[in-house]
Amino acid sequence: MKNIFKISYRNLLRNSRRTLLTASLITLGVVFVLVYTALSGNFKNYMIGQITDSAMGHIQIHKKGFVASVENLPLDKNLNKKQLEYLETFLNKSKYIQSYSYRIKFGGMFSNFVTSTNIRLNAINPKSEFETLPMLKNRFEGFESLGKGGIIVPELIASGMKVKKDDTVVLVANNKSGSVNGINLKVAGTINRISGPGGRDGYIHIDDAKKVLRIKDIEVSEIVIRLKDNDMLDIALEELNPILQKLNVNEKPVFEIHSWKKLSPFYNIVKMLDIMNLGIQIILISIVLISILNVMIMSVYERVKEIGTIAAMGTPPKTIVKLFLMEGLLLGILGAVLGSILSIIIVQGLDMIQLTYNFGQESNLILEPVLSIKDIIVVSIVVIFISLLASISPAIKASNLDPVEALRTN
Amino acid sequence: MIEVRNLKKVYKVGALDLTVVNDLSLNIEDGEFISFIGPSGSGKSTVLNMIGCLDTPTFGSIRINNQDINKLNKTQLAKFRGENIGFIFQNFNLIPVLTVYENIEYPLIMIQNLKEEERKKRILKLLDEVGMLDQKDKTPDKISGGQMQRVAIARALVTNPKIVFADEPTANLDSKTAYLIIELMKKIQKEHNTTFIFATHDEKIVSNVDRVITLVDGNIIKDERVSK
């Protein structure tokens, strides 16, 4: 094999300009794919992080029918104490779950004593909510936490109603049975909105919600779950599903469980990014395939007499195949290595420059592309495999040449 | 020993059948220094290619050392050539990316898979015999035509073949170099008892071989021993 490598390597050097040109094309393709993967990966991870770490968590459990009527924020589809006790035992034991938080979601009227407006609210236990959504605090403006008697107002309502920190406001809401109740709350701060469901909701303490909604016992709209690792999402769902199904009544489910992928429309953008990534990889594969195929076919045509000579000397056909496969392989490896090195340099350069971009309402987001070893290895393996694949046909053609005909060629 | 019986080669040219070799039979003993001569198109090279296991006859049989080569497939033929036959070409056909030493080494690595020590011993001995020891690290483009043919001879002999086929080996050499190359091949033939079979027009070769077979239109018209 060492000798096959030596001869193939020297054959590539024989036409160094062509070799360099082909390797450059492959390098360019690899750079294009890896840099795009790093950039789109950065955007994707940022958005997924925003959604899972500051609004939705990884998984949510509701009473059956809640998600379908979530726009109405129904209070009659809350999980009761018995159901929560049942779920808690499993949630506490699961090896995939890091933390979870209870929420009461409801709508009400928000008044600054002059004007009033509708408001959607998440009533939370701040400790468990902040554990479950570690980036939630980053959205807060002007305060650190939320205590009883406080309200975190969405920034749009705060600016529209001209309320600021420490102002007293009134929150009026209907409870499950339809009776109206109201409480005074102090503005603890405002919260930035983000894309996706719940991204424009305000926050109050769960005890305040129980007071205004006249909930005596514990009762929640949803359980928000944070996993130890987002990659374990499917496994965690598989673990939780049968547990929830145990409480089915007449084979009808009592609970419904959703991952952030089902709940957030952003997941479609993620899928689109993945499809675009795949498209770019297919373009790369085409570049590699055509480049190597072209070079190897040229190589066979240029060296017909030489192939005839080595065949006449008794070189087995499979050795001739190996010689040409090795040339294609070396071209692929050269392109993959150069492309990977160049991509790392470009990505590190972009990290240093710290370019910013805007997305929706969010501005000055820093572009921090990250190139993972996994991506480099996957792209390199694909390029090298395709290089080998593209060399097969010319290699077989070379091995099938009739020595007599080949030796006659000038 | 080579036994050729009723050898026939027909090429299809459009709708026509062109018979290049017609019912040719002969025996060649081990260690003969033999030449096929004849005008262009007489079938010399075709006979050489068939006996050299490069081409297959349309009809007839070829036995080399009791092996019926018609029964061998492509891979078996390649193996047989690698173990029993050496070739010297008109245009030398050295591999341009390899040095003189590596060109001679090529069949030992790629075909016979010999160990490095044994390879080195054989190559240096042959390089010395063909007078190319001091040029061993040069690539073919750095040496003359005569030197290239010496390397080609060393490459043909390095596998210790029983038979060497040489198709117009002196055609691209000047008279003096051609003479030296013929002398070299004669010397090697005597030392190694290798059968040398030429296809040539070159009188210098014809006057130096032990046997001359004249072909015209694919038929042997004369087969004579040359007395020295």
The 10s digit of each residue's pLDDT in B151-205 is 998 898 888 888 999 888 888 778 887 888 888 888 888 888 889 998 888 787 8
Closest residue to B78, CB basis, from A7, A308, A311: A311
Pick the closest to residue B151 from B167, B139, B161, B163 (CA basis). B139
Q: How far is CA B143 from the centre of its chain?
A: 22
Cβ distance B95 to A306 less than 8 Å, yes or no, reads yes
A15 to chain B, any CB pair closer than 8 A? The answer is no
The 10s digit of each residue's pLDDT in B25-42 is 999 988 888 999 888 888
pLDDT at A196: 58
Distance CA B30, CA B189 (A): 10
In this predicted model, which residue has the larger pLDDT, A187 or B192? Answer: A187
Q: Looking at the structure, do residues A291 and A329 belong to the same domain, yes or no?
A: yes
Q: Looking at the structure, do residues A284 and A248 belong to the same domain, yes or no?
A: no
Domain-located, residue A121: yes
Mean pLDDT over each residue of chain B, to the nearest integer = 88
Chain B residues within 8 A of A311 when measuring between CB atoms: 78
Domain-located, residue A263: no
Q: Looking at the structure, do residues A315 and A378 belong to the same domain, yes or no?
A: yes
Cβ distance B111 to A313 less than 8 Å, yes or no, reads yes
- Say if residue B10 is exposed, middle or buried (CB neighbours under 10 Å; 0-12, 13-18, 19+): middle
**Confidence (pTM):** 0.73
Predicted-complex ipTM score: 0.88
Contacts of A274 (CB under 8 A, 6+ apart): none
Structure tokens, A289: 């395939």
Cβ distance A407 to B93 less than 8 Å, yes or no, reads yes
Pick the closest to residue B153 from B133, B127, B171, B172 (CA basis). B127
Mean pLDDT of A265-293: 85
pLDDT class of B228 with cuts at 50, 70, 90 = low
Compute CA distances B95 → A306, A310, B105, whole Å: 7, 9, 11
pLDDT at A396: 94
Sign of the C-alpha dihedral computed for residues A124, A129, A130 and A136 taken in this order = negative
pLDDT at A197: 58
- Say if residue B175 is exposed, middle or buried (CB neighbours under 10 Å; 0-12, 13-18, 19+): exposed
**Residue B132 gets which letter from DSSP?**
-
Domain-located, residue A390: yes
Cβ distance A3 to B98 less than 8 Å, yes or no, reads no
Q: Which of residues 132-191 of B touch A (CB under 8 A)?
A: 155, 159
Helices assigned H by DSSP within A303-372: 304-312, 317-353
Pick the closest to residue A104 from A199, A211, A206 (CA basis). A206
Q: Looking at the structure, do residues A124 and A100 belong to the same domain, yes or no?
A: yes
DSSP output for A187-251: EEEEE---SSTTTT-EEEEHHHHHHHHT--S--BSEEEEEES-GGGHHHHHHHHHHHHHTT-BTT
Distance CA A349, CA A353 (A): 6
Distance CA B36, CA B198 (A): 6
Domain-located, residue A203: yes
Domain-located, residue A58: no
Q: How many CB atoms lie within 10 A of CB A271?
A: 11
pLDDT class of A205 with cuts at 50, 70, 90 = very high
Q: Looking at the structure, do residues A244 and A332 belong to the same domain, yes or no?
A: no
pLDDT class of A282 with cuts at 50, 70, 90 = confident
Domain-located, residue A214: yes
Residue type, A297: I
Distance CA B171, CA B40 (A): 14
Is the model's pLDDT at A43 over the cut of 70?
yes
The 10s digit of each residue's pLDDT in A209-264 is 998 888 888 889 999 999 998 888 889 988 888 888 877 777 788 888 999 888 88
Is the model's pLDDT at A198 over the cut of 70?
no
Pick the closest to residue A330 from A31, A32, A14 (CA basis). A14
pLDDT at A27: 92
Q: Looking at the structure, do residues A69 and A186 belong to the same domain, yes or no?
A: yes
Q: Looking at the structure, do residues A14 and A71 belong to the same domain, yes or no?
A: no
pLDDT at B17: 87
Identify the bridge partners of residue A258 per DSSP, sorted by sequence position. Answer: A60
Closest residue to A315, CB basis, from B85, B111, B155: B111
Mean pLDDT of A373-399: 92
Mean pLDDT of B105-113: 85
Is the model's pLDDT at B50 over the cut of 70?
yes
Closest residue to A313, CB basis, from B49, B87, B98: B87
Domain-located, residue A56: no
SS3 B153: helix
Length of chain A: 410
The 10s digit of each residue's pLDDT in A349-379 is 998 888 887 776 666 777 888 899 999 999 9
Contact in structure between A279 and A376 (CB atoms under 8 Å): no
pLDDT at A374: 92
DSSP-derived pairing of the beta strands B16-28 and B163-167 = unpaired
Is the model's pLDDT at B131 over the cut of 80?
yes
Q: Single out the residue in A208, A226, A253 at which a domain terminates.
A: A253
Pick the closest to residue B170 from B141, B206, B214 (CA basis). B206
Distance CA A221, CA A255 (A): 11
Cβ distance A3 to B110 less than 8 Å, yes or no, reads yes
Domain-located, residue A260: no
Mean pLDDT of B114-122: 89
Lowest-confidence region among A26-30, A137-141, B28-32, B212-216: A137-141
Mean pLDDT of A96-101: 93
pLDDT class of A12 with cuts at 50, 70, 90 = confident
Q: Looking at the structure, do residues A212 and A289 belong to the same domain, yes or no?
A: no
pLDDT class of A269 with cuts at 50, 70, 90 = confident
Q: Looking at the structure, do residues A107 and A138 belong to the same domain, yes or no?
A: yes
First vs last C-alpha separation in chain B: 23
Q: Looking at the structure, do residues A47 and A69 belong to the same domain, yes or no?
A: no
pLDDT class of A34 with cuts at 50, 70, 90 = very high
Give the DSSP H/E element, type plus range, for residue B107: none
Q: Looking at the structure, do residues A321 and A294 belong to the same domain, yes or no?
A: yes
Domain that holds residue A29: 2-51+268-408
pLDDT class of A55 with cuts at 50, 70, 90 = confident
DSSP output for A157-199: HHHHHT--TT-EEEEEEE-TTS-EEEEEEEEEEEE---SSTTT
B13 to chain A, any CB pair closer than 8 A? The answer is no
B226: distance to nearest CA of chain A, Å? 30
Identify the bridge partners of residue B24 per DSSP, sorted by sequence position. Answer: B7
pLDDT at A362: 64
Structure tokens, A377: 């290895």
Total of domains in chain A: 2
Compute CA distances B193 → A31, A378, B32, B36, B206, whole Å: 61, 59, 8, 19, 19
Give the DSSP H/E element, type plus range, for residue A107: strand A97-111
Distance CA A68, CA A66 (A): 6
Is the model's pLDDT at B24 over the cut of 80?
yes
pLDDT at A389: 92
Mean pLDDT of A145-171: 88
Q: Single out the residue in A206, A230, A253 at which a domain terminates.
A: A253
pLDDT at A1: 77
Q: How many CB atoms lie within 10 A of CB A210?
A: 16
Mean pLDDT of A273-300: 86
Q: Single out the residue in A223, A253, A283 at which a domain terminates.
A: A253
Q: Looking at the structure, do residues A76 and A42 belong to the same domain, yes or no?
A: no
